[in-house]
């Protein structure tokens, strides 16, 4: 079974091909350079760029996959959440293609895509498990009880984890996206030199908070601490905070398998810290942690490939809680 997956929820055009649950092609046209000079994503520019590249990228994916469009069995695209103008480009393209080919069209929730990306090379793992999505736009912790059954345990009260990396990087005069830059600078610094507290220390629940941390970074810069030391401490504290919430959720639910996905999952300090917890951790393979189309095809494969319903009538949605997905 061949599934084409499309994601245009934010600033990257993602097109992927999955055959019987295995990723065959994963193409991402990055818009990083386009938005870099603005220090963040400009929605109008993102939509325009998606429109320019989507068709060529789909053709390239089919070529690389060695199949013709009529051989596709199913077409899946991200319905939401995301920037509505950006979402509409890939979603409408996917619907049009499905309609023209007479194939089922499946609407996928962006966060479901992130979750199943972590299982791309571990098809034997089955629910229940915990899933942490830490990206530029989301920080959500779910309990996945069965395929397609998600219980939200906690989310960020303010900024997303990746957003905190991006904003702190900007304050430190580093480029965008900030996560990898902070990670690199932190290697040269000593976290012990900067007094920065772990957010929500002593809480009972599963909430995250990163905006205070960003403010604390601004203060530390004003006070003249060395940028590398600030980066090191910021990263340490962010990682500690995420780990505390995840390990508490594992203890409370009794679940010992944790999927960690989204751009921040690539952070080596986070991976090392979580690995020390003794939990069974699953991270997405290279290229599947950040936004991409293959993860959308994987989610469609896991949740809807058995009995695909044509979802051409469902509208795209900028705001879309995961438990209300079709
Ligand atoms: O998953 P993604 O493409 O974003 C959304 O779907 O929103 O991830 C991008 C985010 C950015 O905020 C970026 O700074 C962060 O992931 N990121 C990292 C690292 N690599 C990317 N954060 C920390 N450490 C990294 N190595
Ligand atoms: Zn994402």
Pocket test for ligand 1, best of 39, 117, 162 (most atoms within 8 A of CB): 162
- Any idea which ligand is nearest the CA of 179? 1
Alpha-carbon span 164 to 170, nearest angstrom: 10
What is the distance between the alpha carbons of residues 213 and 218, in angstroms, rounded to a whole number?
9
Residues with CB under 6 A from ligand 1: 10, 135-137, 162-163, 165-166, 177-180, 183, 262-264, 266-267, 290-291
Q: Which secondary structure element, helix H or strand E, spans residue 19, and what is its range?
A: strand 12-19
In this prediction, residue 73 carries a pLDDT of 97
Residues 322, 107: contact at Cβ < 8 Å? no
Q: Which ligand is nearest to the CA of 159?
A: 1
Phi, psi for 127 (deg, rounded to 5): -65, 160
DSSP string, 301-319: HHHHSSS----TTPPP-SS
The predicted pLDDT at position 177 comes to: 85
Q: Is 83 helix (H, G, I), strand (E, B) or coil?
A: coil
Domains of the chain: 2-116+288-306 (3.30.420.40), 126-283 (3.30.420.40)
3-state SS class at 180: helix
Do 140 and 111 form a contact (C-beta atoms < 8 A)?
Answer: yes
Give the chain's radius of gyration (CA, Å). Answer: 20
Q: 38 CB contacts (<8 Å, ≥6 apart)?
A: none
Tokens of 274: 């979580």
The pair of three-digit structure tokens given for residue 188, joined into one six-digit string = 């040269």
**Rounded distance from Cα 56 to ligand 1 centre (Å):** 26
pLDDT at 174: 94
260 CB-near residues (< 8 Å, 6+ apart): 118, 132, 134, 246, 270, 271, 274, 281, 282, 283
Q: Report d(CA 121, CA 110) in Å as an integer.
A: 19
> Which helix (H) or strand (E) is 4 found in, with range?
strand 2-7
By DSSP bridging, strand 139-146 and strand 129-134 are antiparallel
Partners of 132 in the β-ladder = 141, 260
The best mutation among 135, 167, 320, 322 to test binding of ligand 1, ranked by most ligand atoms within 8 Å of the C-beta, falls on: 135
User: How far is residue 94 CA from its own chain's centroid?
Assistant: 20
Q: How far is the CA of 68 from the centre of ligand 1 (A)?
A: 33
Q: Which residues are near ligand 2, the ion (C-beta closer than 5 Å)?
A: 135, 291
pLDDT at residue 324, as a whole number: 45
**What gap in Å lies between CA 259 and CA 172, rounded to an integer?**
31
**Token pair of 308 as six digits:** 């695909």
Between the CA of 223 and the centroid of ligand 2 the distance, in Å, is: 35
CB 25 within 8 A of CB 4: no
- Distance, in Å, from the CA atom of 315 to the CA atom of 320, rounded to the nearest integer, reads 11
Atom of ligand 1 nearest to the CA of 138: 7
For 291, phi then psi, to 5°, come to -55, 135
Q: How far apart are CA 203 and CA 23, in angstroms?
A: 40
Q: How far is CA 151 from CA 24, 52, 220, in A?
A: 31, 37, 38
**Is the CB of residue 117 less than 8 Å from the CB of residue 298?**
yes
- Ligand positioned closest to the Cα atom of 260: 1
Q: Are 82 and 113 in contact (CB under 8 A)?
A: no
CA dihedral 296, 302, 306, 312 (to 10 degrees): -30
pLDDT at 41: 86
Cβ-proximal residues to 250 (8 Å cutoff; 6+ apart), any chain: 130, 256, 258, 277, 279
Consecutive 10-residue averages of pLDDT for the chain (326 residues): 97 97 97 84 95 98 98 98 98 98 96 96 94 96 92 97 96 92 98 95 94 96 98 98 97 98 97 96 95 97 86 95 64
């Amino acid at each position: 079974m061949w599934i084409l997956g499309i994601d245009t929820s934010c600033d990257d055009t993602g097109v992927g091909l999955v055959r019987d649950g295995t990723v065959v092609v994963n193409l991402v046209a990055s818009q990083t350079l386009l938005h870099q000079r603005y220090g963040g994503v400009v929605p109008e520019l993102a939509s325009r760029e998606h429109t320019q590249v989507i068709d060529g990228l789909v053709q390239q994916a089919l070529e690389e996959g060695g199949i013709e469009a009529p051989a596709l069995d199913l077409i899946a695209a991200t319905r939401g959440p995301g920037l509505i103008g950006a979402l509409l480009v890939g979603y409408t393209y996917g619907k049009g293609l499905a309609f023209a080919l007479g194939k089922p069209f499946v609407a996928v929730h962006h966060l479901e895509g992130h979750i199943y990306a972590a299982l791309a090379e571990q098809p034997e793992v089955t629910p229940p498990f915990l899933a942490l999505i830490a990206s530029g736009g989301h920080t959500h912790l779910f309990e996945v009880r069965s395929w397609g059954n998600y219980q939200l345990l906690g989310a960020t009260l303010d900024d997303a984890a990746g957003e905190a990396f991006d904003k702190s990087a900007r304050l430190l005069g580093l480029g965008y996206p900030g996560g990898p830059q902070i990670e690199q600078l932190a290697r040269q610094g000593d976290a012990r030199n900067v007094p920065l507290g772990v957010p929500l220390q002593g809480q009972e629940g599963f909430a995250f908070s990163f905006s205070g941390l960003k403010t604390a970074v601004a203060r530390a810069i004003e006070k003249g601490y060395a940028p590398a030391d600030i980066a090191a401490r910021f990263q340490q504290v962010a990682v500690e905070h995420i780990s505390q919430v995840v390990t508490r959720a594992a203890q409370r639910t009794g679940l010992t398998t944790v999927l960690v996905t989204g751009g921040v999952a690539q952070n080596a300090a986070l991976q090392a810290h979580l690995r020390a917890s003794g939990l069974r951790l699953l991270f997405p393979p290279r290229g599947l942690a950040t936004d991409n189309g293959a993860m959308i095809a994987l989610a469609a494969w896991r949740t809807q490939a058995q009995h695909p319903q044509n979802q051409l009538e469902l509208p795209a949605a900028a705001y879309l809680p995961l438990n209300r997905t079709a």
